[in-house]
Amino acid sequence: MNSNIKKEAVEMSIKGESIQSLYGYYLANTFLVNRRYQRKLVWTIEEKRSFIDSIIKGYPVPLVLLAEISSSTPKRLLEIIDGMQRLNAIVSFIEQEFDVNGEYFDLDTMADTKLLKDTGKLIQKQNVMNRTVCANLVRYQVPLSVYPETGKNHVDEVFRRLNSNGRHLSKQELRQAGAVSKFASIVRKLSSNIRGDSSASDVLNLSAMKNISITNRNLDYGINVSDIFWVKNNIITKENLRESKDEEIVANIVAWAALEKNTRSSSDILDQLYGLAQQEEASTDLSLANQVELQIQKINEEQLIANIQYVFDKLIEILTASGKTFNGLLFEERQARIPRYFQIVYLSLYELLIEQDREIVDIDKLVKTLDKAGDKTIKLSQGGGNWSAKEKQTAIDSLCGVIGRCFQKTKQNDPARNHWITRFENILMQSSTEQALYDFKIGLHSFDQENRTFNKTLFSKIIKTLAAMANTLPNSTGYCILGVADNPEASLKFEKFYKSKPKKFSNFYITGINDEAIKHHSDIDIYFGKLTQIIKSEPISPRDKDYISRNITSVKYFDKTVIILKLESDSQPSIYGGKYYVRHGTSVVEVPPENFADLFKRFA
């Protein structure tokens, strides 16, 4: 152990902190979660109940480890190193998300929860737990250890050492924990994008994490584990997902795409790709980790992510057309473990769509060709954990030969730009953790049959909101999306007026602007053109006009077209109508002159 760690150990404070105090910290947004090394929020309701029951019965619970983060503001910030699932369980129980033995926490027990109840922010559920039991619970002293953070590398090392015995984290979680390589970053981004628990930034408040938590119930927040691509398609089990087996599949795909198809698959190879094990081939000058970094640098990180995600989108379209799960499409009888079959199908599509620059010309024929391909076409040995590159390539070549006639040379230069299924879903999920940077509108016409005029005032409000978003945080991007309802009431009004059913994703209803554009403007192109023209007359800076105009995009989400407007922060605040605005939550607030200095300092 080096001297720095010894020094930190002396300065570390260890004490008991009441649950009441911890909840106060939570409300003050004191707790931070760094997704670069923290595992997902995956405790089931049953696991949360068991933990709360232990507290109620007075049993000891494990230590919660926090790092005190240095900040330019006087606000205290504590990054959770170990104990995120436990802290979330405590907060979840207090905020009525689950019961213990059929009883809910009494919100009148604490001043904080009583105030939230009185203002309607928390609703008391029945049956109510005995007040004495609740009072004893909030007085319970949770063992807490806080040490001063001396840089992200130190936090990463503490996290790794804490979990290195393997009892807390799976092998893949340990590989990803604190890894800062381009390879690890791509795997982390793609995995969260596909699961649906992506966020705009790596560091979030604990209060935001529940919106992208993975749950085992139909709750009004988070992501139901049964709806996640891997589980929904019977590729891996729910338990496999909790152990990050999905990330192992993604890591193998990224390695194959980046390293020119010559990499076998095994646990040892994954360790090497993350730089955690010595490479076997002594004749190679570069380690496997260095090789993959070099190749990613050549391809470009963002391009590789776009390519891999594009192929996932095409696979989703194929499964949607088939009306079956991946498992159901490939096999007559459901198979228990099929990650290797998934890789063969995925990498065959990657070969045809990306490497050979082709596009699907007959999706119905492709579905028929893939039907029962796992039984008839794809031949794989049972084998153990070591999967040779030769067998993988042979299976890919064979499947490409069979399905290749369903493809033709593409006519598009950059297909990844025009397919947004996964990327659009990621934007929707990110909005639940960064509300100030996202806004949604169904459209720009009312549902009144008598009043068909275009609502220019509403569109101006959108541009003003984008300017406010750009001022809210430096180096950030604000989005406004037309064609999305973020509540069921608005969705029902749309459905009743246009006689068109929105497509639901999580808590969002994708209405699209198709119906509005056709009803009021003949077609989508005219509607889109009208918006680009109006932007030119808005009272914003030439730079912001240019940015919004160049980046306004219409994207296809299944059969719905949505329009995305965005504005990125500049080196100085954005102005609208001679005034400065910022966004607090979902409200646009004017910045008074006396606060101009602070606003400009933010962008210095």
For the stretch 82-119, pLDDT in tens is: 899 999 999 999 999 999 999 999 999 999 999 999 99
Dihedral of the alpha carbons of 30, 34, 35, 41, in degrees to the nearest 10: -40
Can you say whether the dihedral through the CA atoms of 317, 198, 243, 46 is positive or negative? negative
Is the pLDDT reported for residue 44 higher than 80?
A: yes
Q: How far apart are CA 543 and CA 254, in angstroms?
A: 37
Q: How far apart are CA 28 and CA 31, in angstroms?
A: 8
Across 226-238, average pLDDT: 93
63 within 8 A of 15, measured Cβ to Cβ = no
478 within 8 A of 522, measured Cβ to Cβ = no
Is the pLDDT reported for residue 253 higher than 70?
A: yes
146 within 8 A of 78, measured Cβ to Cβ = yes
pTM: 0.78
Q: How confident is the model at residue 556 (pLDDT cuts 50, 70, 90)?
A: confident
Q: How far apart are CA 305 and CA 185, in angstroms?
A: 10
Domain residue ranges in the chain: 3-166, 229-415, 434-602
Across 385-392, average pLDDT: 86
Question: Prior bond to 127 cis, omega within 30?
Answer: yes
Q: What is the pLDDT of residue 178?
A: 67
Total Cβ atoms within 10 A of residue 523 = 11
Helix intervals (H) in 447-591: 456-472, 488-498, 514-521, 524-535, 542-551
Total Cβ atoms within 10 A of residue 512 = 26
- Which helix (H) or strand (E) segment holds residue 342: the answer is helix 339-350
Dihedral of the alpha carbons of 202, 203, 205, 208, in degrees to the nearest 10: -10
Residue 483, classed as helix, strand or coil, is coil
Is the pLDDT reported for residue 578 higher than 50?
A: yes
Query: pLDDT of 455-506, one tens digit each?
Result: 999 999 999 999 999 998 888 899 999 999 988 999 999 999 999 999 998 8
331 within 8 A of 288, measured Cβ to Cβ = no
502: which residues sit within 8 A by CB, 6+ positions away? 485, 491, 494, 495, 509, 510, 511, 512, 560
CATH H superfamily, domain 434-602:
Schlafen, AAA domain (3.30.950.30)
Tokens 């059969």 locate to 559
Q: How far apart are CA 583 and CA 478, in angstroms?
A: 10
Query: pLDDT of 266-316, one tens digit each?
Result: 999 999 999 886 655 444 457 899 999 988 887 888 889 989 999 999 999
Q: How confident is the model at residue 322 (pLDDT cuts 50, 70, 90)?
A: very high
